[in-house]
Amino acid sequence: MTTETSILLPEARVDLFIKDKETIEAARSLQNDWRFARVTISIEEGDVESAISAYTQASSPTLVLLETDVTDDSFVGRLEALSAYCNEGTNAIVIGPVNDINLYRHLTSIGVSDYLVKPVPLATLAEIIAQSLIEKLGAVGSRMIATIGSKGGVGTSALTQALALGISENLDQKTFFMDAAGGWTSMPVGMGFEPTTNLHEAVKAAASKDFDVLDRMLFKPNEKLSVLAAGSEAMLEPSVQAAQYEELIDMVMASYPVVLIDLSGAIPSLKRMVMNRAHEIMIVATPTLSSLRAARTLMQEVKVLHGGSISNIDLVINMEGLMPSKEVSKKDIADVLEIKPSVTIPFDPKLFLTTENEGKKMNQEKAGRELIERLLPVAQSVLSSVPLAVKGDALDLGVIGSFLSKIKKG
Ligand SMILES: Nc1ncnc2c1ncn2[C@@H]1O[C@H](COP(=O)(O)OP(=O)(O)OP(=O)(O)O)[C@@H](O)[C@H]1O
Ligand SMILES: [Mg+2]
């Protein structure tokens, strides 16, 4: 079942001070849940007193879950004592022995986010923690990488396909990969599938938020990689529009930590929308005058889209050595383009055409594995960055407010 909380949760720390065996088991299982990959969960057998002594020593987390056997005023007093040691942003959930609506009302009125009755089953625990983190931090976990050529035929798709294998296999990230080229796509040959659908069908599934239909459109080359098996539309059929494609992006961003989009072959309005939203952009160019000139213009336009910054652009020079005497040197490229190429890929027709013709994946060849290694830093830089909303000072206290701020007023 897919629910609103079926997304990769934002980076957060959750501490549990609990004693109930079943609930402890459930909390341990959370660590195997893909949604919690970026959530650090620590479980201590204890109660509100253990929490107080923990936070006199160390800073409090995003969310704390406390089990209690007593539910009278003395417990509320201990919660108050705890709040003195908690950061502004810490939320609290209480797990108690009995179902008591008055207690629930009282606790929530003083700033506790929720009250649950033990034992808390795994599904409930996962759902409540996920809801609390999403409400507080927003769904900021996913990262979008877009790739684009400075002009046609520079190898954008071939390199993006290699990158998709690298992110999913070498970096072990659950990845969604699609292009926007419609009938012009080279993905079926590059990734080895028969198109079973097209972009028009995919955006239709997104418009009706139909995860099951979208799921049936996927080709899965490995455990972590899902590729949209599109490309069955006629080449001369009109493209899907940017707003429709954006709905599709929103849908996949909600359930995949990494979304990789190949923009070579997309219409300009679609390229613009995707690059506007992308966390990282890989621009591919060849070391030739015409390609580099277009790369410079493209970079300037992207810079404007991103408020004057080019920090999230990686320039990849492809097919180095195709015609050495006529190529622009590395130094001249850096001078003209403001940034140094992050990666340079040699012209290697044997590798590219062999894998293409024989339907092999890049990583089945030694040279292909080396190429993937070279490309990986492009993805690594964006995947290791901390989502804005959880960076210390920028912490958004959110609509529900924090445990501390409310309890102090109470
Ligand atoms: N470094 C390289 N050495 C040799 N051949 C390459 C190299 N990079 C890409 N190619 C080959 O060049 C051809 C064009 O590549 P690809 O389709 O990836 O380009 P593209 O930029 O995506 O094109 P389009 O603009 O049509 O989308 C393919 O046959 C590919 O295998
Ligand atoms: Mg292409």
Model confidence pLDDT, tens digit, residues 139-194: 556 889 999 999 999 999 999 999 999 999 999 888 999 999 999 999 999 999 99
Mean pLDDT on 75-97: 90
Any idea which ligand is nearest the CA of 159?
A: 1
Q: Judge whether residue 232 has pLDDT over 80.
A: yes
Alpha carbon of 336 to ligand 1 centroid (Å): 24
Nearest C-alpha to atom 8 of ligand 1 is from which residue? 155
pLDDT tens readout for residues 291-350: 999 999 999 999 998 888 888 999 999 999 999 999 999 889 988 898 899 999 999 999
| CA of 348, closest atom in ligand 1 | 3
Q: Judge whether residue 355 has pLDDT over 80.
A: yes
Mean pLDDT on 90-96: 93
Q: Answer whether 36 contacts ligand 1 (Cβ < 6 A).
A: no
- CB atoms within 5 A of ion ligand 2 belong to 157, 264-265
> Is the Cβ–Cβ distance between 141 and 6 less than 8 Å?
no
Alpha carbon of 221 to ligand 2 centroid (Å): 19
Select, from the ranges 84-93, 239-248, 254-263, the one with the highest average predicted confidence (pLDDT). Answer: 239-248
358: Cβ contacts below 8 Å, ≥ 6 apart:
none
Q: Is 357 exposed, middle or buried (0-12, 13-18, 19+ CB in 10 A)?
A: exposed
pLDDT band at 395 (very low <50, low <70, confident <90, very high): very low
pLDDT of residue 37: 82
Q: Answer whether 94 contacts ligand 1 (Cβ < 6 A).
A: no
The rounded distance, in Å, linking the Cα atoms of 214 and 228 is 8
pLDDT of residue 31: 84
Q: How far is CA 78 from CA 19, 49, 84, in A?
A: 17, 8, 10
Pick 313 or 103 by higher pLDDT. Answer: 313
Q: Is 210 exposed, middle or buried (0-12, 13-18, 19+ CB in 10 A)?
A: middle
Share of the chain above pLDDT 90, in %: 66
Mean pLDDT on 203-223: 94
Any idea which ligand is nearest the CA of 161?
A: 1
pLDDT of residue 264: 98
Residue for token pair 């995707």: 274
Residue for token pair 């190949």: 262
Q: Judge whether residue 398 has pLDDT over 50.
A: no
pTM of the model: 0.70
E strand or H helix at 144, and its extent?
strand 143-149
- Please give the mean pLDDT across all residues of the chain: 88
Q: Answer whether 51 contacts ligand 1 (Cβ < 6 A).
A: no
In the chain, what are the domains?
12-139+391-409 (3.40.50.2300), 143-386 (3.40.50.300)
Mean pLDDT on 8-12: 79
Alpha carbon of 262 to ligand 2 centroid (Å): 7
The rounded distance, in Å, linking the Cα atoms of 161 and 164 is 5
pLDDT of residue 141: 63
Q: Is 103 exposed, middle or buried (0-12, 13-18, 19+ CB in 10 A)?
A: middle
Share of the chain above pLDDT 70, in %: 90
Q: How many alpha carbons fall within 13 Å on the CB side of residue 221?
A: 29
Q: Answer whether 182 contacts ligand 1 (Cβ < 6 A).
A: no
Alpha carbon of 349 to ligand 1 centroid (Å): 10
DSSP letters, 193-222, are: ----B-HHHHHHHHHTT-HHHHHTTEEEEE
Nearest C-alpha to atom 25 of ligand 1 is from which residue? 152
Q: How far is CA 122 from CA 4, 32, 107, 119, 214, in A?
A: 17, 11, 23, 9, 27
User: What are 63's strand-pairing partners?
Assistant: 14, 91
pLDDT band at 404 (very low <50, low <70, confident <90, very high): very low
pLDDT of residue 5: 62
SS3 229: coil
Residue for token pair 């594995």: 369
Q: Answer whether 155 contacts ligand 1 (Cβ < 6 A).
A: yes
Q: Are strands 313-320 and 225-228 parallel, antiparallel or unpaired?
A: unpaired
The rounded distance, in Å, linking the Cα atoms of 211 and 252 is 9
Task: Quickly list H helices, 110-237.
Answer: 122-137, 156-165, 187, 199-207, 211-215
pLDDT tens readout for residues 105-124: 888 888 888 999 999 999 99
Task: Look at phi and psi of residue 264 and say left if phi exceeds 0, alpha if psi is from -120 to 50, else beta.
Answer: beta
Residue for token pair 């207690």: 103
Q: Answer whether 356 contacts ligand 1 (Cβ < 6 A).
A: yes
